[in-house]
A and B are shown apart, each in its own frame.
Chain A
Amino acid sequence: MTTFLRIYLLALFGFVFLPIVVSLLFSFNSDRFPTLPMSGFTTIWYETIFADPDFWRAARNSLIVSSCTAVIATFLGFCTAYTDYRYTFRGKSLFLAIILLPPTIPLIIIALAMLAWFAPVGMSGQVWSIIAAHTVLTAPFAMAIIRLRLNQIDESLEAAAWNLGASEWRAMREVILPFTRPAILSSLFLTAAVSFDEFTVAWFVSGLNKTLPVHVLEIVQGTIDPQVNAIGTLVFGISITLVVISQLLIFFRLQREAA
Chain B
Amino acid sequence: MTEPLVTFERVEKRFDDFVAVKGATLDIGAGEFVAIMGPSGCGKTTTLRMLAGLDAPTSGTIRIAGQVMNDVPAHERDTPMVWQSLALFPFLNARENVEFGLKMRGVGVSERRQRAMTWLDRMEIAEFAERNVETLSGGQRQRVALARALVTEPKLLLLDEPLSALDAHLVIRMQSVLSRLQRELGITFVYVTHSQSEAFAMADRVVIMSQGEIAQVGTPREVYRAPRSRFVAEFVGRNNILPGEVVASHQGMVSVQTPLGTFNVQGDAAPGTSASIVVAADMMQVGGGENRLTATVISEEFVGSMVTAFLEASDGTELKVQVQERALADLGLETGREVSLGWNTADGHLLVDETP
- Please report A residues at the B interface, Cβ cutoff 8 Å: 154, 156-157, 159-168, 170-171, 174-175, 178-179, 181, 257
Tell me the complex Cα distance, A177–B74, Å.
20
Interface centre among B79, B81, B87, B90 (most CB of A within 10 A): B87
The 8 Å CB contact of B101, one of A157, A159, A164, A257, is A164
A179 to B87, CA, bound (A): 13
Once the chains bind, are A165 and B105 in contact (CB under 8 Å)? yes
Q: Which residue of A lies closest to B74 (CB)?
A: A162
Complex contacts, A161 vs chain B, CB 8 Å: 89, 100, 104
Instruction: Give the chain A neighbours of B103 by CB distance below 8 A.
Output: 174
Name the one of A156, A166, A168 contacting B87, with C-beta atoms under 8 angstroms: A156
Does B91 count as interface, using CB distance less than 8 angstroms? yes
Instruction: Check if B89 sits within 8 Å of A157, measured CB to CB.
Output: yes
**Residues A156 and B75 in contact in the complex (CB < 8 Å), given A164-B148, A165-B104, A170-B104:** no
Beta-carbon contact of A164 and B85 below 8 Å? no
Q: Is B90 a contact partner of A179 (Cβ separation < 8 A)?
A: yes
Given known pairs A170-B104, A257-B134, the reply for A163 and B90 (CB within 8 Å) is no
Top 9 A-B residue pairs of the complex, sorted by shortest distance between their CB atoms: A165-B104, A156-B87, A160-B87, A164-B101, A162-B74, A178-B91, A156-B83, A162-B75, A166-B104
Bound Cα distance from A168 to B54, whole angstroms: 12
Q: In the complex where A154-B85, A156-B83 touch, is A163 in contact with B74 (Cβ < 8 A)?
A: yes
Known: A159-B74, A163-B80. A154 touches B87 (CB 8 A): yes
Shortest distance from the beta carbon of B63 to any chain A beta carbon, whole Å: 19
- B334 → chain A, closest Cβ, in Å? 49
What are 6 A-B contacts with C-beta separation under 8 Å? A159-B87, A163-B75, A164-B80, A167-B73, A174-B104, A257-B134
Give the docked Cα–Cα distance between A56 and B260 (Å). 98
* B-side contacts of A164, CB under 8 Å: 75, 80, 100-101, 104, 148-149, 152
In the complex, B5 has a CB within 8 A of chain A: no
Q: Which residue of B lies closest to A158 (CB)?
A: B87
Q: Given the complex of chains A and B, what is the CA–CA distance between A174 and B83 in angstroms? A: 18
Q: Across the interface, do A163 and B91 meet the contact criterion of CB distance under 8 Å?
A: no
A-chain residues with CB within 8 Å of residue B84 when the two chains form the complex = 156
B83/A160 in contact, CB under 8 A: yes
Q: Is B21 interfacial (CB 8 A cutoff)? A: no
| A residues near B80, Cβ cutoff 8 Å | 163-164
Asked if B54 and A162 make an inter-chain contact with CB atoms under 8 angstroms apart, the answer reads yes
Indicate if B117 sits at the interface (CB-CB under 8 A).
Answer: no
Residue of B92, B101, B134, B152 with highest tally of chain A CB at under 10 A: B101
Contacts of A154 in B (CB 8 A): 85, 87
Q: Is the CB of B104 within 8 A of A156?
A: no
- Determine which of B54, B85, B92, B134 lies in contact with A163 in the assembled complex, contact meaning CB atoms within 8 Å: B54
Does B69 interact with chain A (Cβ within 8 Å)?
no
Bound CA–CA A174/B101 (angstroms):
11
Task: List the A side residues contacting B74 at CB < 8 Å.
Answer: 159, 162-163
Q: How far is the CA of A179 from the CA of B100 in the complex (A)?
A: 15
Which chain B residues lie closer than 8 Å to A157 at the CB level?
87, 89
Within 8 Å CB of A166, what residues of B? 75, 100, 104
Contact between B79 and A163 (Cβ–Cβ < 8 Å)? Answer: yes
Chain B, 308-344, contact with A by CB distance < 8 Å: what is the 0/1 string?
Answer: 0000000000000000000000000000000000000
CB closest residue in chain A, given B100: A164
7 further interface pairs, Cβ-Cβ under 8 Å (given A162-B73, A179-B90): A156-B85, A161-B104, A163-B75, A165-B75, A165-B76, A165-B152, A167-B75
A178 to B74, CA, bound (A): 21
B350 contacts which chain A residues (CB < 8 A)? none
Cα(A161)–Cα(B54), bound, Å: 11
Q: Which residues of A contact B76 (CB under 8 A)?
A: 165
Residue of B nearest to A153 (CB): B90
Interface residues of B in 100-153 (CB under 8 A from A): 100-101, 103-105, 134, 148-149, 152
Interface members, chain B 41-85 (any A CB < 8 Å): 52-54, 73-76, 78-81, 83-85
Query: Chain A residues with Cβ under 8 A from B105's Cβ?
Result: 165
CB proximity of A16 to chain B, nearest CB, Å: 36
Contacts of B52 in A (CB 8 A): 163
Contacts of A179 in B (CB 8 A): 90-91
Q: List residues of chain A with CB within 8 A of the CB of B87.
A: 154, 156-157, 159-160
In whole angstroms, how far apart are the Cα atoms of A162 and B79 in the complex?
10
Whole-angstrom CA separation of A170 from B106 in the bound complex = 12
**In whole angstroms, how far apart are the Cα atoms of A175 and B89 in the complex?**
7
Chain A residues contacting B134 (CB-CB under 8 Å) are 257
Residues of B contacting A181 in the complex (Cβ-Cβ under 8 angstroms): 91
Q: Least Cβ distance of B32 to chain A in Å?
A: 21
Expressed in whole angstroms, the minimum distance between the Cβ of B5 and any Cβ of chain A is 18
Q: Which of A165, A174, A175 has the most CB of B within 10 A?
A: A165
Q: Whose C-beta in chain A lies nearest to the C-beta of B91?
A: A178
Assess the A165–B89 pair: CB atoms within 8 A. Answer: no
